[in-house]
Amino acid sequence: MIRVALIDDHRLMLDGLLGLFGTAPGEFQVTGAFTSWQDPAAWPDGASADVVVMDLYLNMPVPLSTRLSAVQAVGAKAVVLSNSLLPMDVRLAYASGAHAFVPKSSEPAVLFDAVRAASTSRIHVPDAVKDAFPARLPQWRTDRPPRDRTRKVNLSAREQELLRLYLGGHGLSAKGVALAVGLSEHTVKAHVRRVRQRYAGAGYDVTSLFNLRRRLREDGWLD
């Protein structure tokens, strides 16, 4: 039985999801349904879930990355729902930690498949959103082990996160990275600039993004 929590700020949509998951009681159990964001750590007893199905924006200022981090912190996976098919929105969701992005116009089977995949920690990309990515679909892994390598330049945890989103194959612009992690575009660019300066100080030519990406890969920061 897959335990599912639902979050959507439109009452009719939430009721529709409740009815939909109610058609498969032997496979899914809805443990909570909320019309606004609440940190899963503060949910009432009995509302814990294996998969949280949530709207992309929820008509509120809490960044998606913050919400997905909170979901991960309680050991759950996330499936994002949206009316949007904009490539930036799709990439933002996956880059922020979602295991699937499902358009609200999808057939029920598409949502069920996404929840099943998420419950087993698999990334699921429905056919309707595959066009949001380059020809070679990037692979997201949340179980990547730490590397034990000697590096010429050390990066902070924040710098690692930003550079993986910006240069690691996710296809996010500096603005997209900023949206994903809840920072300003200026701050993202400042982090990248400081990393470049440290590499330049160590004697490496990283004046182009191509050279910076190659250097980061050689040092083990990017795959």
Q: Are 195 and 153 in contact (CB under 8 A)?
A: yes
Summarize pLDDT for 68-86 with one digit per residue, the tens: 889 999 999 999 999 988 8
Dihedral over Cα of 84, 85, 89, 95: its sign: positive
Q: What is the b/e burial string over 122-160, where b = at least 16 CB atoms within 10 angstroms of the residue's CB?
A: ebbbbebbeebbeeeeeebeeeeeeeeeeeebebeeebb
Residue showing tokens 């996976």: 77
In this prediction, residue 148 carries a pLDDT of 41
DSSP secondary structure letters along 113-163: HHHHHHHTT--B--GGGGGGS-SS-----S-PPPP----SS---HHHHHHH
What tokens appear for 6 in the block? 């639902």
Summarize pLDDT for 140-195 with one digit per residue, the tens: 444 444 444 455 688 888 898 888 888 876 667 888 888 777 788 899 999 999 99
Summarize pLDDT for 9-64 with one digit per residue, the tens: 999 999 999 999 999 988 999 999 999 888 888 887 777 899 999 999 887 777 88
This prediction's pTM = 0.62
Q: Are 105 and 81 in contact (CB under 8 A)?
A: no
Which residues are bridge partners to 3 per DSSP? Answer: 29
- The HSE-up count of residue 52 (CA atoms within 13 Å, CB side) is 29
C-alpha angle 98-45-119 in degrees, rounded to nearest 5: 30
In this prediction, residue 157 carries a pLDDT of 84
Structural domains present in the chain: 2-132 (3.40.50.2300), 157-218 (1.10.10)
Summarize pLDDT for 102-151 with one digit per residue, the tens: 999 999 999 999 999 999 999 899 999 988 765 444 444 444 444 444 55
Residue 44 DSSP code: P
- Distance (Å, rounded) from C-alpha 220 to C-alpha 52? 33
